Each structure stands twice: as C-alpha cells, then as structure tokens.
Amino acid sequence: MSAFIVRCRKQMEYPTASPKPKITRKTLLFPLIGLVAFFAYIYVFRVDIPTIIATAQRADPLPYALAAVLSLVEMFFFSVSWRVLANFLLIKLSVIKSYLLVWYGIFVDIIVPAESVSGEALRVYLIAKEQGNNTRGRVIASLVTHRILGMGINVAVLILGMVLLFTETQISPLIFNLILFLAVGITIALLLLILFSFKEKWSLKGIDWLIRLGRFLSRGKWHWQLTKIKEDACRIAKSFHHSMKEFKHNPKALVFSLFYLMLTWIFSLSIPYLVFISLGSSVSWSVILLTSAIVLAVKSIPLGIPFEVGIPEITMTTLYTSLGVSAGISATATILIRLITLWLRFFIGFVAQQWLELKPVLAPAGNITVEEA
C-alpha cells in the first residue's frame, strides 16, 4: 500500500516524469504464447500451414493495400471524433496532435496489460503534462463520453448484423446466444457508465471510502499523503462531472463526434471485407458486422494479455468458420487482417511514440505548444 501511495504522490508532484512503456521479457513472451495457441488452434481445425501460406500468396495485393490505407483513415476519423469532444471542453488539440496521441495510445494498448484503459490513461497523462493538471477531469470526461458513444455503436452493429444474418440464413443457437449475451452485457455496462457519469456524490463517496481504507491499512502513517491524494481525486471528479453536464446541456459536440465515429466504423468494417475480396472470397456484410463487433467486445476486456495475440485470432477464425466461411479461408483472412489491425498499427504507434517523446527534447526550450506538436 505504501508503494502505491508513493507512486501516486510522485505522479502528482512531478507530472513531467516519462510515461514511456517498457518492453520486458514477459511482454515479448506473451505474443509468442498467443501465436503458438493460435496455430495450435488452426491445427485442431486440420488446416495446414502451407495451405494458408499458399492462399495468402495468391491474394490480390491491390485490395489488400487499400485495406491497409483505410486502416490509417479509420484511425484518423477516430482521433477527429475524440478531438471534437476534447475541444468542446477547451482542451486545445490540433488534428495532427490528436492523431499522434491516438496512435501512441494504440501502441501502449497493444503492449500493456489492461488493453481497454491503458491507452486512454496515457492520453490523460500526456495532455495534463502539457496543459496542466487542471485539465485531467475534462480529458477523462472526453474519453468516457467517446467510449460511451463507441459502445452504443457497438451494440447497434451487433443488432444490425444479427438482423441481416436472419434474412440470409438460419443462425445457430450458439452464435445467437453469444450475440444476445454481448448485446445485453454491453448495454448494461453502457447504462451503468452513463449513470455513474452523472452521479457526482457516488464518485466522492467512493473516493472517501478508498481513502479510509488506505488509512486503515497504513495505520495512519500516510495521513498527509492520503489527504493530498483525496483532495486531487475530488478535484478531478468534480471537474469530470461538470464536464459531463456540459455535454448534456449542449449535445452539438456529441452529434459531430458520433458522425465521425460512424465513419470510423465504416472504414473499420471495410478492412476485413477488402481482405476477403483480395482472397477471392465474397463474404456477406452480416458476417463482417457480427465478427467485427464481437471481436471488439472481446478486445475491450482487460485480460492482461499484451499484444492481444491469440484470443482475437481464435475468436475471428471461429466466428468466420461458424458463419459459413471455409476453415482455410477463415484462418488466412484472420492472419492478413491482423497484420493490418495489429502489427501495422503497432509499428505506426511505435513511430508516433518516438516522435512525441523526442520532439520535446529536440525542440528549443520554451517553444513547445500543443498546437505546434
């Protein structure tokens, strides 16, 4: 407990400390385990690796290259969607700056356990580092609102995919129950998140309870530190809830953010569609919609697996196969899709991270602003 308090105190008193993630042996070990699990899964399906390689080699490079480009466009509209919310709350970010921050967050999401929150926490840290700690509550509000909008679209895509699939073929009970479970689960989580966002008293009581627990466990040794943490946490919570009320009273920013987020989904869904086209396999949009929405829901759970390797691939291959795609094409398409949505993004995120880390060092002291970055 004492170590946790010391870390919190240092982060609040010295906000310029580097948040740069470290790649350890354990970080590199998990991707290897995930890859082994995925290929073992493929072997169980009796799909030969040489067959996958041969199928991939026959892929048309033009639609596949277009899919890679659309991945960049997808992230652009995602960053613009978040930037609309941030700028509404007087957090000034240029388009380029927000784009780089999103890529940096994706890089951290991939390598740090807790995929669903680590990149967002990084964005809070970096903006607070540049614009002051008084922005933390507003940044958190922009990220929470962005996530709420994304969860709403996720549920809508699940339902739309299920309706389209019903019109094309008969859905297996397993797939139907999975879709229903995820749709209900995301909806419940969405409602709870919205409810929490407008209940300031709940937040303050939760902070008070945690501080009381900290005092009990530390037996009063960290009274001053815990008091400082409580003051900062309450200040952030009040700023957060005030910002959420601003969104409620002026929904114009929500409409624009939702529009850009819908464009994000359109480009996101185009990636697997184009990959299947490159393999000469025509897959219905219902399959694309359902698989993409389900995989996104699985990835949003912080399972503590860096590099997201293994579980998404197995999920995608299983769903494609269950929805009528041959096992060989499913496995090949999954690998090609993940080369774009995981490994390409990993390397671009790494470049963004290096740029954001090095630019303050290379730029003249005192001349760095958010809009210039």
CA max distance for the chain: 68
Contact (CB, 8 A) for 124 and 143: yes
Q: Model confidence at 296, in pLDDT bands (50, 70, 90)?
A: confident
User: What's the chain's average pLDDT?
Assistant: 80
What residue spans define the domains of the chain?
A: 22-199+254-362
pLDDT for residue 12 is more than 70: no
Give the separation between CA 325 and CA 169, rounded to whole angstroms: 13
| Each residue's pLDDT tens digit, 321-351 | 888 888 888 888 988 998 898 889 989 998 9
Give the separation between CA 175 and CA 224, rounded to whole angstroms: 54
336 alpha-carbon distance from chain centroid: 20
pLDDT of residue 11: 43
Q: Which residues contact 107 (CB under 8 A, 6 or more apart)?
A: 21, 119, 345, 346, 349, 350, 352, 353
Q: What is the mean pLDDT of residues 21-36?
A: 55
pLDDT of residue 328: 82
pLDDT of residue 3: 45
pLDDT of residue 360: 61
Give the separation between CA 94 and CA 83, rounded to whole angstroms: 8
Q: Which residue has the higher pLDDT, 78 or 229?
A: 78
Look at the block and give the residue holding tokens 């019903």: 166
Report the interhelical angle of 327-338 vs 252-278 (nearest 10°): 130
At 139, list the tokens: 């940044």
CA–CA distances in Å: residue 28 to residues 19, 42, 309: 19, 22, 11
Alpha-helical segments (H) within the chain: 2-13, 25-44, 49-57, 61-88, 95-111, 118-131, 136-168, 173-197, 200-218, 223-249, 252-278, 285-299, 311-322, 327-338, 345-362
Contact (CB, 8 A) for 161 and 183: no
Q: What is the mean pLDDT of residues 86-111?
A: 91
Find the range with the poorest average confidence among 60-69, 138-147, 155-164.
155-164
Q: What is the mean pLDDT of residues 11-23?
A: 47
Give the separation between CA 300 and CA 319, rounded to whole angstroms: 17
pLDDT for residue 304 is more than 70: no
